[in-house]
Every structure is written in C-alpha cells, then in structure tokens.
Structure 1
Amino acid sequence: MTKKQKTAAAWTVVIIAFFGGFALANVQNKVPPCIDVVMMYFNIGETDAGWLTSVFTIMGMITAIPAAALMRKMGPKKIGVISLACAAVGGVIGAFATDLWVLMATRVLEGVGVGMIAVVGPAVISMWFPAEKRGLPMGLWGSWMMCSQTLLFFIAGGLTVSFGWQGVWWFCVAFCVVVLVLYMWKVDAPPRGHAELR
C-alpha cells in the first residue's frame, strides 16, 4: 500500500471506531428521553427508573478496567464486536421485557458493552496514527457522547410517540448491528509495515 492508501485505511478504522462509541452512547442515553413512558409502562417511580441509567453506568465503570487488558490480548476487532453484540442482544431482550428486573438485567449487559468500547477508540488511534497526528482523530473520538445526545434527544420523542419506548430500543439495536458489521469488516490493528508508511 502507498502512504495515501495507509492514511485512508487509518481514517476508515478510526471513523468506524467512532461510530462504535456513538452506538454505545445511544444505548446509554436511550432511557432519559422516554423515561416517563417507561415509568408508566412498568408502573415504577423515580428511584427505580433512575437505576436503569445508574446500573448501566456502574457496569461500564467496572468493565472498562479489565477491558484494557483484554484488548491487548484479543485486539480491537474482537473487543469491539463483543461490545456491540452485548448492546444489541441486551437491546433486543429489553425491547420485549415486561418485567422491570428483566429490563434492569439487560441494562447490566449493555453497560458491559460501553465499558469495553470506551477503550477501543484511543487504542486504534494510537495504533494507526503517530503521536504528532493523533489530535484530530482523538478530537473526533472525544465527541461520541455529545453526538449521541444531539441525535437521540432529537429523534427519541418521535420514536416514542410512534412506537412506544420500544421504538427507541429498536433504533439503538439497529444502529449497533450496522456498526458491528462495519467492525467485523474493517476495524483491526494495522498490518506490519504500517509504521514505516504513516
């Protein structure tokens, strides 16, 4: 590959990694925009509803620590695919949930996913870009949460009105599945010889 082709490959990997973060941020942020409808559906109060977000965040924090070590052994592709699969499976089960504790369990599974995806972006950036060229890709990676909130908080109301709170869940599942396919296709550590051309 030429240097230009290597640069294009590096940006392709980083952009897909960004959308992995975007997808998991959607999963994290899907509860607040439709929380009133979720509360009515499960007949719960504010405290129980709050745990739907808190348990996700707690699992993300717990998972992120071992995820870094796992990524060194397994590589960014496998960690990204596992992360997105956790979110997609959790979302599908959650969309069919009629019991609060089932929904809560799916949020635990989804939280595992976000903890794993959080380590992938910085890792692939450091693999594919030399230190002096990491500023722009790191800036892109750093915007995943804000991009998710901008999109999801804008569309969640319409999805909830049209399809119930499950509509938001299915949107997030579809987003995760699309990005999972892209991860399987393109995201990985750079090939040997990449360092000489970057």
Structure 2
Amino acid sequence: MVPALGESACGSGNFQRRLLGQAGSPATTSAFRRMLQKGSPAAIDQHETRGDCVMPEAIQGSSKKGNMTSGRAWAVVAVVFLAGFCMPANMGKTMWLAPLVMESYGFGPDILGWVNGVFYILGALIAFPAASFVRRIGVRSSVVIAMACAVVGNLIGLLSGTSVMVLMASRIVEGAGFGLMGVIGVTAITPWFPKGRRGLPLGVWGMWVAAANAITPMLDAAIAEATGSYLSVWQFLLVFDVIVLVLFLVIYRDPSEPYIDAAEKAGEVKFSYKELFSNKVVWVLAFVFFVEEGAFIASQGFLSSYVTTSIDAPLMVGTALVSAGAIWGACFSPIAGKISDAIGSRRKVLIFCMASAVLFGLLVFWVTDLRVYVLVIVLNGFTGGGVAAMLWASSSEVVPSHLISGATAALACSQSTGMFLGSMFMGNVINAVGYTMAGWCVLVPCFAIGLLAVIFGLRGKLK
C-alpha cells in the first residue's frame, strides 16, 4: 500500500514530494497525486519496492500509455492470438480429415503419423535461435514471417496433388510458423501487463491451440463435406491466413512503456543463452510440456479415426467430439489463468490439470459409449487448456524480462518436439497393439511422469 500524501515513506517525509516533482507538469503531478492516494497498481506493480518505499521509477512509469488498463493492450492480445490461432488451424487439417487424406493418398495410420509429425520438426529446430531473433527484429516483423510460413505452406499443400513428399514439405513450412508463434506469443503480450496480472491474458494466449482444436475439426469436416473435396479446407485457411495478417499489421503496436525489469529498461542486461540454460525451473517446465503435449497431440491426431472405426460413428460425429473437448479446453484456459491469479499459484492449478490428464489417458481410447464421452470431453479440456495456460504464464515469471523470449523458446521447442515424437510414435503403436493398449502404454505413462515432475520438480520453485 502506498502511504497517503503527507505520511513519511522510506524515513523521509519529502520522499513523495520528490516523486511528484519528477512527474513534470502540474496536470501530470495532479494525476500522480491521485494515483498515489488510491494506491494504483499501475504505479507500483512493475518495479521493485523496498519495505514501504515505492521507488521513483515506479511512479515515473505509472502514466504510460502501454499499461494493462489501455484498450490497446487487449487489442494486441486479440491480434496476437489470432495469428497464433492460424498455426494450429493449419496443423489440424490432416488430423481432422484423416480418413479422407489417407484414402486420397493411399496410406495408413503409420504414414499419417509422419504426415502429422513432420509439422513440428522445423518449429522445434528454430525455437532457440528464434528467441534472440525475435528480440533483434521485433515482434511485428517476426509475426509477419510466421504468417508468411502459413500462407506458403498452404499454397504448397494445394499443389501437392497425390505426392506424400510434397504434402510433408508443406507441413514442414507450416510448422515453422507454428514454432515461431510459440516463441512470439508470450514475448508480445507480457510487456503490456505486470507480472501478478498476466494469468488472464496469457490464459487467453494459452487458448491458441485449444481454440483451433475446438473450431477447426467440425469446420474442416463441414467444408470438405459441402464442397466434396478436402482441398477446399486448404483454400479456406489460405484466405483466412491472409486476412489475419492484414488485421495484425493494422492493429498491432509495441507498448510505449513496457512492463519490463528496470535493468533491461536501462540497457544494463542482454539476452544470454548461458543465463537461460542455467535456469533449472525453465528446464522442468519444458520437460513437462514435452511429455504432456507429446501425449495429448498423439491422442488428438487419432481421435477422429478411433471414433469412426471403434465406435462406428460418422466422421462428423468424431470431429464433433474432438471439437467439444477442445471448446471446453479453450474456455478453461483463461479460467485457469484467472484462478491462478486469484489464488496466487500456478503450480496448484497445474497439478490439478496434470492429474486430470492421467485420467484422460486412461479413458480416451477405452470408452466405447458415446454418452460416457462427456467425461472424456471434460478431462480433455483440463488437459489441453489448463496445462498450456499455466506453463506459458509460468515461463514469463521464472526468468527476468530479458530472458522471457528464451524461456518461451524452451517451451516452444519442447512442445514441437513432443508433438512430433508423439504423433509419429503413436501411429506405429496403434498399428501394433490397437487403440486401447496404445493409450494405456503411451498416454498414461507420459502424463504420469509430467505430473510427478510438477509435484516434485517445481516444489519450492514455482508458486
């Protein structure tokens, strides 16, 4: 709490008067005086305090245009989210339309695993270089490059004909955009919000995959069914990517006064891979994302095929089930962020979500009654929405601001690597032992290991 005007702070009754004197004009001084009297979070959240003393730079930064109360902050969240949404929307094409793609190209689940999996290769490889790359050229240019990958990838896919290799090449290019956005998203959003209030905006960002998984399964199936060709989905997403790129260029701005550490603002620190790699908490978060996303995406990639073959349901029913789980996941992501802000703990919410993931792994390829799938849908949301939201939010809080792009790169790399291995490996396991045993032998152990890492690896290191 900031002392009322006239009270002593830091042992000096003149301290606040000195702060007000730094504000500038009488009008600005008056605004600062009102903020001090109210104990405005905008005046105190982003910089350090010592005892009851609010440091001068906290007051100097309080009138900035780029703080969390600005409408621009949430507009930036919206357009960055839309750019991110495009990437998993492209990712899901071959997953949600798996029966049609396999029939058209003449391959089975084993090759489908590769078609799904290669999407993540380049994204995993470029994640760490992208950490310094994004800081060097800026968020705006980085998003343009990521969106260009999405557009070019869709074009190559449209020209693939019946060539599996060309289809895979298109997936790799699209995956590069996915990997870039994994690094860019948190880096773009965090400067607009103070640390203690990033749970909700990063929870919104955490929906970028879940929201795409919620909307595109039924959308892709409906487009393919209406036009009689799955290639119409590639055409639709190509146009959508271009529209989002234009919208981003019109709306996005960098914050005029970002919420960053004082040392970075003063230019006293620079991005350092050595400093990043020595942070053990970042590696634990990355490991959890690796095993969780590997298992989760492995399940999503084959869920529509499982429903159509094992439950004997139409493709639209299978994609509807995938969408229902992802819709709840997309909704739960910001809810999880808001809850973690309210209780002051990311770790507790993360433990709950990972425990839900273990149960999800047990049931997802075992349940054969569509009515029981209600429980699977609920667990799917906790897993797909809550885990990612907590990990992205945590990555911005366990490192100083100049390393946030590096921490998110670690998560993006582990996410893409896990997705690649999970997608590739799962198809072969399903071919060998069937859906149910594959779920019990692959999904459950991965989720359980991730849960143990959160419980023991982050104890005392993450609130």
Q: Would you call these one fold, judging by a TM-score over 0.5? A: yes
CA distance in 2, matches of 1:2, 1:109: 37
CA distance in 2, matches of 1:138, 1:4: 15
CA spacing shift, 1:66–1:37, aligned 2, 3 Å:
same
1:190 is the counterpart of 2:190: no
Q: How does 1:117-128 map to 2 (within 5 A)?
A: 117-128=181-192
1:24 is the counterpart of 2:101: no
Measure how far apart 1:194 and its partner are: 5.5
Q: Who is 1:33 aligned against?
A: 96
Match of 2:153 among 73, 87, 90: 90
Q: Which amino acid aligns with 1:46?
A: P
Q: Which amino acid aligns with 1:120?
A: I
Measure how far apart 1:30 and its partner are: 1.4
Q: Which amino acid aligns with 2:169?
A: A
CA spacing shift, 1:65–1:2, aligned 2, 3 Å:
closer
CA distance in 1, matches of 2:183, 2:65: 29
Measure how far apart 1:4 and its partner are: 8.6
Measure how far apart 1:188 and its partner are: 3.8
1:165 is the counterpart of 2:230: yes
Measure how far apart 1:2 and its partner are: 5.7
Runs of 4+ aligned residues of structure 1 deviating over 4 Å after TM superposition are 1-6
TM-score scaled by structure 1? 0.90
Q: Who is 2:245 aligned against?
A: 180
Tell me if the contact between 2:67 and 2:258 (Cα under 8 Å) persists in the aligned partners. Answer: no
Match of 2:166 among 99, 102, 115: 102
Q: How does 1:123-162 map to 2 (within 5 A)?
A: 123-162=187-226
Task: Describe the SS at the equivalent of 1:97.
Answer: coil
Greater helix proportion: 1
CA distance in 2, matches of 1:46, 1:61: 23
The number of residues matched between the two structures is 195
CA distance in 2, matches of 1:3, 1:100: 47
Q: Who is 1:56 aligned against?
A: 119
Task: Describe the SS at the equivalent of 1:31.
Answer: helix
Measure how far apart 1:20 and its partner are: 1.1
Tell me if the contact between 2:224 and 2:230 (Cα under 8 Å) persists in the aligned partners. Answer: yes
Q: 39-48 or 15-24, which moves further after superposition?
A: 39-48
Measure how far apart 1:121 and its partner are: 1.4
- When Rg is computed on C-alpha atoms for both structures, the one with the higher figure is 2
CA spacing shift, 1:65–1:194, aligned 2, 3 Å:
closer
Measure how far apart 1:53 and its partner are: 1.0
Q: CA RMSD in A?
A: 2.1
Tell me if the contact between 2:120 and 2:176 (Cα under 8 Å) persists in the aligned partners. Answer: no
Tell me if the contact between 1:76 and 1:187 (Cα under 8 Å) persists in the aligned partners. Answer: no
Tell me if the contact between 2:153 and 2:171 (Cα under 8 Å) persists in the aligned partners. Answer: yes
TM-score scaled by structure 2? 0.40
Q: 152-161 or 72-81, which moves further after superposition?
A: 152-161
Measure how far apart 1:189 and its partner are: 2.2
Structure 1 unaligned blocks of 5 or more: none
Measure how far apart 1:8 and its partner are: 0.8
Task: Describe the SS at the equivalent of 2:70.
Answer: helix
CA spacing shift, 1:48–1:5, aligned 2, 3 Å:
closer
CA distance in 1, matches of 2:148, 2:113: 24
CA spacing shift, 1:5–1:60, aligned 2, 3 Å:
closer
Q: Who is 2:135 aligned against?
A: 72
Cα shift readout 1:24-52 (whole Å, capped 9, x = no counterpart): 11011111111111112222222222211
